[in-house]
Amino acid sequence: MKAQNSIKQGNEEYLQEIKIRCPQCSTNKNLKIPIKVIDQSKQLTTISIPSKLCCEHSFQAFVDKNFIIRGYQKVDFEFSHMEFYESSDETYDTKDFTSMPIFQHIIKLLRDCVDDKEILGSGIFTIEGKVLYSSLPQTTLFNTIREFEVRNEKNLISVKKMYLELENSEKFISTIISFNGIKFNLVLMFAFRVKFGMGNLHLRDLLKKIEKIN
């Protein structure tokens, strides 16, 4: 199904509206998704739909670069947030990070660490700012992509760790991780009550878990 015209108000100029349908109960809902996330993808983008967003079910939709939904998948686990990540495909280079089993393991770790109390969202980005996985709120996602793009343009990619505090006192920590010699940005977003020191402890704990599967 083709998307509607992109929205033109505020950050919504960066959004495209699509219609999703639950594969279990056939409930329809119009959903606005970030244009850049879809444009950046080499192939299909997987969108994880949490329960209560469309209906009582959690499911996944696969969207191509023309914003056409190519299929749906029922899932037997819950999402706390809407998620975006690049789908793997056997017809593509199997050395691509997103096609490796470790990528799915890392997504599960990131999904499990988000609790809506202290950790509000997470993501993996390339050094250039391409989204590989994100459960970040959309406004934060836009700003994160732009921040990494600017850092790349200004050749600041040697900055290993970044700390940001938003106007509402929510915190943002990113650090560089490496797989098979390729660097990525790992991002965690924290609630306003979380201090950077505590955020660092959460990040360190997550990195230890990732190291065990790397």
Does domain 95-214 fall into CATH 3.40.50.880?
Answer: no
> What are 158-194's pLDDT values in tens digits?
668 889 888 889 999 999 988 777 888 899 999 999 9
d(CA 37, CA 16): 11
> What are 10-23's pLDDT values in tens digits?
455 678 999 999 99
Residue-level pLDDT at 56 = 92
Nearest to 148 by CA among 134, 136, 131, 133: 131
Residue-level pLDDT at 26 = 95
pLDDT band (50, 70, 90) for residue 9: very low
Mean pLDDT (the chain, rounded)? 83
d(CA 103, CA 89): 13
d(CA 98, CA 86): 7
Nearest to 133 by CA among 152, 151, 111: 111
Residue-level pLDDT at 3 = 40
Contact 127, 164 (CB under 8 A): no
pLDDT band (50, 70, 90) for residue 1: very low
Domain positions in the chain = 1-87, 95-214
